[in-house]
Amino acid sequence: MSELGPEVKRLILRCAASSWRLEDLDEDLPITGGGIGLDSVKLVELLCACEDRFSVRLQLEALADETLTVGALVRRIADAGTHDAAPRAPEEGPG
């Protein structure tokens, strides 16, 4: 997984149930459905977080794809040009 992988995983964890840990997020793990189980609201939240963090535009249908995996999301962000751009510093959130 590219250097984007750990940061994308941290964004996923912000949207996922608290039982998930960084080391649980395999590249082939689906983000929705029987994988991490994000619903449509959490997918939109993840889309916005990725767009903000990496200064890219992602298509909503790309995240709504039932087969979207952790690795596929990282590749979609990289394909959007983020591997050449410096990501913004993460915001400090509550708790």
**Domain extents in the chain:** 5-84
CB 30 within 8 A of CB 71: no
Flag whether pLDDT at 84 surpasses 50.
no
% of the chain exceeding 90 in pLDDT: 51
Look at the domain 5-84 and name its fold: 1.10.1200
Query: What's the whole-model pTM score?
Result: 0.78
For residue 72, which of 12, 6, 27 has the smallest C-alpha distance? 27
For residue 20, which of 4, 35, 39, 42 has the smallest C-alpha distance? 35
| Average pLDDT for 18-44 | 91
